[in-house]
Amino acid sequence: MKNIKLIFSFVLLLAVTISCSIPDGIDQDTSFLSSATSANISKIFDISTDNSGIVRITPIGEGVTSSKVIFGHGIGADASAVVKPGLSATHTYPEGSYTVSIISSDIAGNQTTNTYPLVVTYRAPENVVIKTTGEMKVSVTALYAKSFLVYYGDVANEVGTPLDLGKTLPAHTYPAPGISPFVMKVVAFSGGAATTTVNKTLFDLPIDFETPDVDLFTPFGSPISQFATVNNPNATGLNTSAKVGMFTKGGTTSGTLSAFNIPVNFAYGKKIKVMVYNPDPANIGKNITLLLQGAIVTGQPANGVAIKKMPITTSGAWEEIVFDYGTIAAIPAGAKFGQLILRFNDTQAGAQEVFYVDNFQLTN
The tens digit of pLDDT for each residue in 47-93 reads: 999 999 999 999 998 899 999 999 999 999 999 999 999 999 999 99
Q: Give the residue ranges of DSSP H helices in the chain.
A: 2-20
- For the entire predicted model, the pTM comes to 0.73
In this structure, how many other beta carbons lie within 10 angstroms of the beta carbon of residue 268?
17
Is the separation of the CB atoms in 333 and 308 below 8 Å?
no
Residue 279 pLDDT class (50, 70, 90 cuts):
very high
Residue 29 pLDDT class (50, 70, 90 cuts):
very low
Residue 302 pLDDT class (50, 70, 90 cuts):
low
- The pLDDT value recorded for residue 259 is 87
In this structure, how many other beta carbons lie within 10 angstroms of the beta carbon of residue 20?
8
Single out the residue of 133, 149, 261, 127 nearest to residue 207, CA to CA.
261
SS3 18: helix
What are the distances in angstroms from CA 224 to CA 214, 219, 220, 253? 20, 6, 5, 9
Q: Is residue 315 over pLDDT 90?
A: yes
Whole-angstrom Cα distance, residue 167 to residue 188? 14
